[in-house]
Structure 1
Amino acid sequence: MSDTRDQVAHARRVVVKIGSSALTDLHDGLDTARLDRLVDALEARMRAGSDVIVVSSGAIGAGLAPLGLTSRPKDLATKQAVASVGQLSLALAWGESFARYDRVVGQVLLTAHDISVRAHHANAQRTLDRLRTLHAVPVVNENDTVATNEIRFGDNDRLAALVAHLSGADALFLLSDVDGLYDGDPRKGDARLIPEVNGPADLDGVIAGSGGALGTGGMASKLSAARLAADGGVPVLLAAAAQADAALGDASVGTVFAAGAERMSARRFWVRHAAESHGRIILDDGAVQAISRRRRSLLPAGVVDVGGEFHSGDVVELTDIHGVVRARGVVAYDIDDVRQMLGKSTSELPADFARPVIHADDLVVI
């Protein structure tokens, strides 16, 4: 067994994402028999000593049949209406299934806005931690009934990766209708399973597709989420929900993604991956080199221009003169103040502007 599979198999705190196709059917809606089998595997993992957080897709899939619909709606209002019906059924089904083992379920509904705003992010973190200390099983889902196209995560794979880091998880499981990462479409018969991804080189030539009829994800979103989590220091196992026993047992199936060498702090991960950007600061070549290679603070002398509408404490993108994003950071000034500081050395500015535009501790290089 590889070191990564061993880490996943023995992880103490895990996030398990369940895809829509593993729980629902276009014609019959929620499949409680399949959900029960997944809960059996999750219970076995918990009895082996792991804390488990579930990220569950399926709200829209669970709401289609009760409303007499036979395909996933395309307009936002109908999606939200269907989700409002399905979310209730889904939460009830998780609760009833875990009740077979005398376990209580706590539902946590999130939007991208909740993760992007630091105070909401911290509140979600505290809620998940408290649910675990109360011996309840957190079941997380995107709040489809209020999320809009502008603020939604887009798929629960990304949500699961963010929750894994938010909760300090030791491993992330992505369970759906695919049994691992292939270098092509496995339905065509000539694709090769990639058992382990240790870095970008292992993904050369990989072609990832989009989502299916029930979900918004697909291999592309799973690959993106796996790399996001691994980049933050969380190893990932991508496997089929039908193989949940083995996946949550000895991690002998699917594809594993090795974690980065160093786990990113919660704040730095939030700045890089979760926080909403409120504007941009354009840097000259010298400033780009200073922040990306020497990890220095951003000083006014290296700022060429600004864009957007940001205030002190907001997260902004730092780009080079060609528009390529080179870093993200928490800015120390409002945009009007930064405009006054453009290109000036610290000695040319009033004492009120003595701080860096962005301190090195608040910068994350992309």
Structure 2
Amino acid sequence: MDELGGVSGRELLAGARRVVVKIGSSSLTDDAGALDPTAVTAVADALAACRTAGTQVVLVSSGAIAAGITPLGLASRPRDLATQQAAAGVGQGLLVAHYTRAFAAHGLTVAQVLLTAEDVIRRGQYKNAQRALERLLALGTVPVINENDAVATDEIRFGDNDRLAALVAHVVQADALVLLTDVDGLYDGHPSLPTSRRLSRVSSAADLEGVVVTGRGSGVGTGGMTTKVDAAVTATGAGIPTLVAGAADVSRALTGEDVGTWFDATHPRPRTRRLWLAHAAATRGRLVLDDGAVRAITDGKRSLLAAGVVGVEGAFEAGDPVELASAAGVVVARGLVAYSSEELPERFGLTSAQLREEFDGRDRAVVHRDDLVVVARR
């Protein structure tokens, strides 16, 4: 798949209009798990050179919780949510202060942007995030994005910044996504084995057959190669080529050298909202559909009407993301529901005409097709 007027592969990074770069905690901390200012400066220097060359850069940076470990006197990364939030509250300011100084040395201004999953599953909120990021880039800043760990709960977390970076790459319409890690790419076996070889390019899912990817990453991070491959699949499926490379190779990566593993884009870009629905936060409930409704939304690409809903699972409000499943329990789609879980049961099986008669002329779809994305076929 060609990008940027026919340029394909990693060569496009050297002349990209806009890239999203993500770096993990393990690449920003020392052996004790504390934030390493020299590592922060190194990535800032590389990104500043990229910015000076004419490419807009959005940085998704982990490290807030790790940065808070030492100031709070903690021995290691906390496991409970409350202490993680406390560490993030302390560490986020330290992390951004280091980035601010590092980029200022190149005459660049940093803009801190903290997101939760709520910011990308609610229509108004993700539009606000999109507008804010576009304006920050137009003003010449380097947005530094992190999940808002100080307030995010388990139910509304992205889970890892690799996933967040893939979603951000789509919302800012990036030409490419670069995921930096402490391994210099994806290998066909464990990187420490002499028989393992680095995969230079992944053009399709077939190139990943037989490749075993395991591990959650370092003691200060939440990711690992598994989350990076998942994020690459998400991004490339949304039309954004992705490079997974070692943080030490960031300068070479951004100039198009053969480092890391390049994932070709596999699909055209979907509408932003559809990507959010497919990959953002956990759904709040489930609608059970009859066979006709399943066919209508999957094959017919139609809105979900009340006539095809036969059951509701979970508690949700109007506007929440929900799963749409067959009677057999197969999830076929996700969407933003127009009714709460309390309102829906009295509308089960009613036609549009019956809805208008029973509810003062109101017959809106349960999930409009513009707010619906198919995730599996029958």
Q: TM-score, normalised by structure 2?
A: 0.89
Residues 198/121 of structure 1: CA separation in 2 closer, same or farther (3 Å cut): same
Shift of 1:247: 0.7
Q: Which residue does the alignment assign to 1:189? A: 194
Q: Which residue does the alignment assign to 2:348? A: 342
2:334 touches 2:374 (CA, 8 Å); kept in 1? yes
Residues 251/9 of structure 1: CA separation in 2 closer, same or farther (3 Å cut): farther
Q: Please give the alpha-carbon distance, in whole angstroms, between the structure 1 residues aligned to 2:304 and 2:121.
A: 23
Q: Which residue does the alignment assign to 1:87? A: 92
Partner amino acid, structure 2, of 1:361: D
2:133 equivalent to 1:128 = yes
> SS at the partner of 1:188?
coil
2:369 equivalent to 1:364 = no
Query: What pairs up with 1:230-309 in 2 under 5 angstroms?
Result: 230-274=236-280, 276-309=282-315
> SS at the partner of 2:313?
strand
* Mean Cα deviation higher: 176-185 or 4-13: 4-13
Q: Which residue does the alignment assign to 2:206? A: 201
2:18 touches 2:175 (CA, 8 Å); kept in 1? yes
Residues 276/116 of structure 1: CA separation in 2 closer, same or farther (3 Å cut): farther
Residues 346/110 of structure 1: CA separation in 2 closer, same or farther (3 Å cut): closer
Q: What are the superposed Cα offsets for residues 170-216 of structure 1, whole Å, 9 maximum, x if unpaired?
A: 21110010111123321233333222222222222222221211101
Q: Which residue does the alignment assign to 1:314? A: 320
Residues 356/62 of structure 1: CA separation in 2 closer, same or farther (3 Å cut): closer
2:25 equivalent to 1:20 = yes
> SS at the partner of 2:167?
helix
Q: Which residue does the alignment assign to 1:3? A: 8
Partner amino acid, structure 2, of 1:141: N
Shift of 1:275: 5.1
Shift of 1:319: 0.6
> SS at the partner of 1:246?
helix
Equivalent residue in structure 1 for 2:155, among 146, 150, 154: 150
Q: What are the superposed Cα offsets for residues 255-297 of structure 1, whole Å, 9 maximum, x if unpaired?
A: 1122233101112222222255232111222322222223222
Q: TM-score, normalised by structure 1?
A: 0.92
2:307 touches 2:349 (CA, 8 Å); kept in 1? yes
> SS at the partner of 1:165?
helix
Residues 93/299 of structure 1: CA separation in 2 closer, same or farther (3 Å cut): same
Q: Which residue does the alignment assign to 2:338? A: 332
Q: Which residue does the alignment assign to 1:175? A: 180
Q: What are the superposed Cα offsets for residues 66-122 of structure 1, whole Å, 9 maximum, x if unpaired?
A: 344342222223222222232222111101111111111111112223333332222
Equivalent residue in structure 1 for 2:53, among 44, 48, 52: 48
Greater fraction of residues in strand: 1
Shift of 1:345: 4.1
Q: What are the superposed Cα offsets for residues 294-325 of structure 1, whole Å, 9 maximum, x if unpaired?
A: 32222333322122233443322101112121
> SS at the partner of 1:305?
strand
Q: What are the superposed Cα offsets for residues 125-148 of structure 1, whole Å, 9 maximum, x if unpaired?
A: 222122212211111112222222
Identity of aligned residues (%): 53
Unpaired segments ≥5 residues, structure 1: none
Residues 341/3 of structure 1: CA separation in 2 closer, same or farther (3 Å cut): same
* Mean Cα deviation higher: 338-347 or 89-98: 338-347
1:8 touches 1:236 (CA, 8 Å); kept in 2? no
Shift of 1:15: 0.8
Q: Please give the alpha-carbon distance, in whole angstroms, between the structure 2 residues aligned to 1:355 and 1:110.
A: 31
Q: Please give the alpha-carbon distance, in whole angstroms, between the structure 1 residues aligned to 2:318 and 2:352.
A: 18
Partner amino acid, structure 1, of 2:262: V
2:119 touches 2:125 (CA, 8 Å); kept in 1? yes
Residues 150/102 of structure 1: CA separation in 2 closer, same or farther (3 Å cut): same
Q: Please give the alpha-carbon distance, in whole angstroms, between the structure 2 residues aligned to 1:144 and 1:355.
A: 37
* Mean Cα deviation higher: 51-60 or 108-117: 108-117
> SS at the partner of 1:78?
helix
Unpaired segments ≥5 residues, structure 2: none
> SS at the partner of 1:38?
helix
2:121 touches 2:321 (CA, 8 Å); kept in 1? no
Residues 123/345 of structure 1: CA separation in 2 closer, same or farther (3 Å cut): closer
Q: Please give the alpha-carbon distance, in whole angstroms, between the structure 2 residues aligned to 1:29 and 1:337.
A: 50
> SS at the partner of 1:141?
strand
Q: What are the superposed Cα offsets for residues 319-345 of structure 1, whole Å, 9 maximum, x if unpaired?
A: 111212110122333444532333344
Partner amino acid, structure 2, of 1:356: A
* Mean Cα deviation higher: 44-53 or 236-245: 44-53
1:179 touches 1:240 (CA, 8 Å); kept in 2? yes
> SS at the partner of 1:24?
coil
Q: Which residue does the alignment assign to 1:62? A: 67
Partner amino acid, structure 2, of 1:271: L
Shift of 1:349: 4.3
Provide the aligned C-alpha RMSD in A. Answer: 2.2
Q: Please give the alpha-carbon distance, in whole angstroms, between the structure 1 residues aligned to 2:257 and 2:296.
A: 42
* Mean Cα deviation higher: 9-18 or 342-351: 342-351
